[in-house]
Amino acid sequence: MSNTITLNDGNKIPAIGFGVFLIPNDGPTYEATLEALKAGYRHIDTAAAYMNESDVGKAVRASGLKREEVFITSKLWLQDFGYEAAKKAIDTSLKNLGMEYMDMYLLHQPYFDVGGAWKALEEAKKSGKIKSIGVSNMTPKKWQEFVPHFETLPAVNQVECNPFFQQRELRNILDPLNVKIEAWYPLGHGNADLLNHPAIVSLAKKYGKNAGQIILRFEVQDGLITLPKSTNPTRIKGNLEIFDFELTAEEMQTLRGLDTDKGSHDPDAPGVGEHLLSAYKIHD
């Protein structure tokens, strides 16, 4: 199994990415990203709403890596949904990152003028400002509501996904279209019931890995792109070390059986878009 996945637009993405959600700008994101790049990550996941794109850009430049060696994702925030606002926001993200292009840009949330925002992403892809475009937090319901009206099929849908919440219904829709899922909270956000689950602990013993590595291996082997979060340098590095063993078909089936089909966030709940918009203001 390769550590790189080919998307439906032909571009390649590293299967494991380093997420910088909730890491402050002006230092901490710079340091965390630089550490991650030194540890071997080649895929960084930020967003306009994380307010730390500029530190990500600085870290990539400081790493000594060539721009094309690192896959950079950012996301359009809800305040900028709408065609004209999104066009401006794409340029703001590029300016904050200090980059000429982004490898991936996502609609961060599926509310309000999704169609207008998507059109701006499609144009930016055509003009080379963005290589791949995708969506995020789209449930089957949101996907069916919006995506049939898009001209371009999204390359990914970034959603909450882990062994307790495997998104099987969504995957049944996306798999035939070759749209990849990117998993946020891939370790259940540190859920002790998941990390200490006997099925996972016993596989960790068998393969000489930790519980997180077993979960990440399961996810990547099951076709996902995964974005684990850690502030511990040993685990940050270790979370990349999942390509030197393989779970058997039977073990994959056992782990598929852990699905409870429940996550921490329901994008279909009433008022979620309004709540997010008022909770996160990234500009006037």
Binding residue (CB under 6 A) for ligand A2P from 25, 93, 213, 221: 213
Give the single-character DSSP code of 282. Answer: -
Using DSSP, state whether 164 is helix, strand or coil.
coil
Give yes or no: 50 in active site: yes
Helical ranges in the chain per DSSP H:
28-39, 53-63, 83-97, 114-126, 140-146, 168-174, 192-195, 198-207, 211-221, 233-238, 249-256, 272-279
Task: Return the range that interacts with ligand A2P (CB under 6 A); candidates 120-128, 200-208, 209-217, 272-280.
Answer: 209-217
Could you give the CA distance from residue 80 to residue 89 in angstroms, rounded to a whole number? 6
Contact segment (CB under 6 A) with ligand A2P among 8-16, 77-85, 232-240, 257-265 equals 232-240
C-alpha–C-alpha distance, residues 266 and 160, integer Å: 10
The answer to the question of residue 167 lying near ligand A2P (CB under 6 A) is no
Selected binder of ligand A2P within 2, 4, 231, 260 (CB under 6 A): 231
User: Interface with ligand A2P includes 265 (CB under 6 A)?
Assistant: no
Residue 20 or 114: which CB sits closer to ligand A2P? 20
Is 204 among the residues that bind ligand A2P (CB under 6 A)?
Answer: no
Q: How far apart are CA 153 and CA 172, in angstroms?
A: 16
- The single residue of 41, 50, 111, 185 carrying the catalytic annotation is 50
With contacts defined by CB under 6 A, name the span among 80-88, 103-111, 233-241, 262-270 that binds ligand A2P: 233-241
154 contributes a contact to ligand A2P by CB under 6 A: no
| CA–CA dist 89, 83 (Å, integer) | 10
Tell me the C-alpha to C-alpha distance, in Å, between residue 171 and each of 162, 174, 192, 216, 249. Answer: 13, 5, 26, 17, 19
47 or 187: whose CB is closer to ligand A2P?
Answer: 187
User: What backbone phi and psi angles, to 5 degrees, belong to 208?
Assistant: 65, 35
- Count of residues interacting with ligand A2P (CB under 6 A): 19
Task: Extract the tokens encoding 7.
Answer: 């998307």
Member of 34, 147, 239, 251 binding ligand A2P (CB under 6 A): 239
Q: Is 17 in the site for ligand A2P (CB under 6 A)?
A: no
**Is residue 73 within the footprint of ligand A2P (CB under 6 A)?**
no
CA 180-18-94 angle, 5° bins: 85
Helices (H) and strands (E) in the chain, counts: 12, 10
Residue closer to ligand A2P, measured from CB, 41 or 146: 41
Question: In the bound complex, what is the minimum distance in angstroms from residue 6's beta carbon to ligand A2P?
Answer: 24
* Residue 210 within binding range of ligand A2P, rule CB under 6 A: yes
233 is a contact residue toward ligand A2P (CB under 6 A):
no
Over its C-alpha atoms, the chain yields an Rg (Å, rounded) of 18
Helix, strand, coil fractions of the chain, as percent rounded to 5: 45, 15, 40
Residue 195 touches ligand A2P, criterion: CB under 6 A: yes
Supply the minimum distance, in Å, between the C-beta of residue 209 and ligand A2P.
9
- Least Å distance, CB 30 to ligand A2P, is 18
Per CB under 6 A, residues contacting ligand A2P are: 185-190, 195, 210-213, 228-232, 235, 238-239
